[in-house]
Chains A and B, each alone.
Chain A
Amino acid sequence: MWALKWIASTLVGMVLGVVSALWMAGQTQITPPISFQDVEVEGWHSDWTIGSEAADLYTRAWVARHGLLALTKREAVYFVRATDDDGQPLKEACDYRVSGGDFPAEWWSITIYDRDSRLPMNDGWALSVDKTDIGDKGDWTVLVSSAAMADGTQFISSKNAGVFDLTLRLYRPSAALIENPASNLVPPSIETVSCGGG
C-alpha cells in the first residue's frame, strides 16, 4: 500500500515539476511570473544573457519559445514592453502614441507581436518602424492603432493583435549602453490615446 503511495507521489511530483517548468519558462498560454527580468529601463525589459550559454535555464527556455535565433548582446539587444506608461496591458482596442528619439546603437527597430510572439495576422505592411523610416529627424512619434490615420501619420498596425507587446531591437549597441543601460538608454514612451475602438 505504501509502495503505491510513493509511486503516486513520484508521478504527481513529476507532473507538477514538468508543468511548473513549462509555465515558468513561458511555454504555456498563461503568463509566467518571470521573463526578461535582468534589465529594466522605464518599463522596457531585457536580459543581457539572451542567446548565450550564460543564460539561466528559464531564460534559455523562454527565448527558445519566444525569441528563437536571438543574437548575443555584442551584436544586438532586445527590449520588450507589454504595458503603456500607466502600466495597463497593450491591446488592440486602444490607440497608443509611441514617442522617442535616437538610441545608442547602429540601427534599431520597433515591432509589434501578439501574445504568441507572432506578427499579428493583418495585411502586414505596417508592423514595425525602424531607423530607416525615421531618418535623422531626432525625436519621433508613431501611432499604434488597428486602423491607419487618414492624414498619413506613421503607424504600426495592431489589427488582429489582441493583447500585444512591442519589441525594441538595438543592433550593435554602444558599449556604454551595455555597461549601464539605465543611464544610456531613453526608451520610447507609450501613451494611451483612446480605448474602445475594438
Chain B
Amino acid sequence: MKWMIAFVVFFVSGLAAHFATLHAVPGLIMERTMATMANNEIPFHSFRLAPAVTPQNQSVVRPSPDLAYSLCLYDLSETDGLIELRAGAFDGYGSIAVFDDQTNNIAAVRLPAGEETSVTLGKASSAGISATSDTGLILIRRLASTPQARAAVEQAALRDACAPTPIN
C-alpha cells in the first residue's frame, strides 16, 4: 500500500511539475528577450529600426533576412494606460504586431500601401488594441529584401512612433 502511495506521489508531482514548466516557459522567454533587447538599446515607448538582419547580429530566433524590423518595448504601468502607435507610410508589405508578456500576438494591423497608420494600445475600452498584459513588445515588419527597399524603410521609419501620450 505504501508503495502505491509513493507511486501516486511520484506521478502527481511529476505531472504538476510538467505542466507548470510548460505554462511558465513562454513568460520566462519573453521576459528574458525583453531584458536582452533593453540591454541592446531597444527603447521603451519609442521605435528603433533594427539593423538589417545578418547571422552575426540575430537577436531573436528565426529572423527573416527579407524583412526590416522596428521594435518598441512597452510597459503600460509606466504610462497613463494608453500608448499611441504610428507606422510611417511605406509602399511594400508591412504590419504592426503587438505581443503580450506571454508571447501571444494579440494584434496585427496591416499597413495600407503608401499610407501612414495609427492605432492605440491600452487596457481601456477606448483603446484600438486591447492589451492583455502591462508589458510586451511591438514590432513593425516591412519588406526590405533589396537595398532600395531597405532605404525606403529607413525613410518610412522616421515617422514611426510609440508614445505614451497623444501624438501631435
Contacts and interface: CB of A to CB of B under 8 A. Distances in A.
B71 to A, nearest CB: 9
Interface residues of B, number: 52
Given A9-B10, A13-B17, A58 B55 contact: no
Contact of B18 (A20, A67, A130): A20
A60 B28 CA distance: 12
Contacts of A122: 55
Given A13-B13, A75-B97, A128 B105 contact: no
A18 B145 contact: no
A69 B108 contact: no
A162 to B, nearest CB: 13
A10 interface: yes
B53 to A, nearest CB: 7
Contacts of B149: 132
Nearest to B2: A2
A128 B9 contact: no
Contacts of A74: 108
Contacts of A43: none
Interface string A114-129: 0011111110100110
A169 interface: yes
A64 B103 contact: yes
A39 interface: no
Given A21-B21, A51-B105, A132 B143 contact: yes
Interface residues of A, number: 59
B25 A25 contact: yes
Given A119-B55, A128-B64, A107 B25 contact: no
Contact of A72 (B14, B25, B30, B105): B105
A111 interface: yes
B75 interface: no
Given A6-B6, A21-B22, A109-B66, A68 B17 contact: no
27 contacts: A6-B5, A9-B10, A10-B10, A10-B13, A12-B14, A13-B11, A13-B12, A14-B13, A14-B14, A16-B17, A17-B18, A25-B22, A27-B25, A51-B105, A63-B26, A69-B60, A69-B97, A75-B97, A111-B64, A111-B66, A119-B54, A121-B56, A122-B55, A124-B55, A124-B56, A132-B66, A132-B145
Given A22-B25, A68-B29, A132-B66, 19 more contacts: A6-B6, A6-B9, A9-B9, A10-B10, A11-B13, A13-B11, A13-B17, A15-B17, A17-B15, A18-B18, A22-B21, A68-B30, A107-B93, A107-B143, A117-B62, A121-B55, A124-B54, A130-B66, A130-B145
Which 9 A/B pairs are nearest by Cβ-Cβ distance? Answer: A17-B17, A13-B14, A13-B13, A51-B105, A17-B18, A21-B21, A17-B14, A57-B22, A9-B10
Interface of B: 2, 5-7, 9-23, 25-26, 29-30, 33, 53-56, 58, 60-66, 93, 95, 97, 99, 102-105, 108, 110, 137, 139, 143, 145-146, 149
Interface of A: 2, 5-6, 9-18, 20-22, 25, 27, 51-53, 57-58, 60-61, 63-72, 74-75, 106-107, 109, 111, 113, 116-122, 124, 127-128, 130, 132-133, 167, 169, 171-172
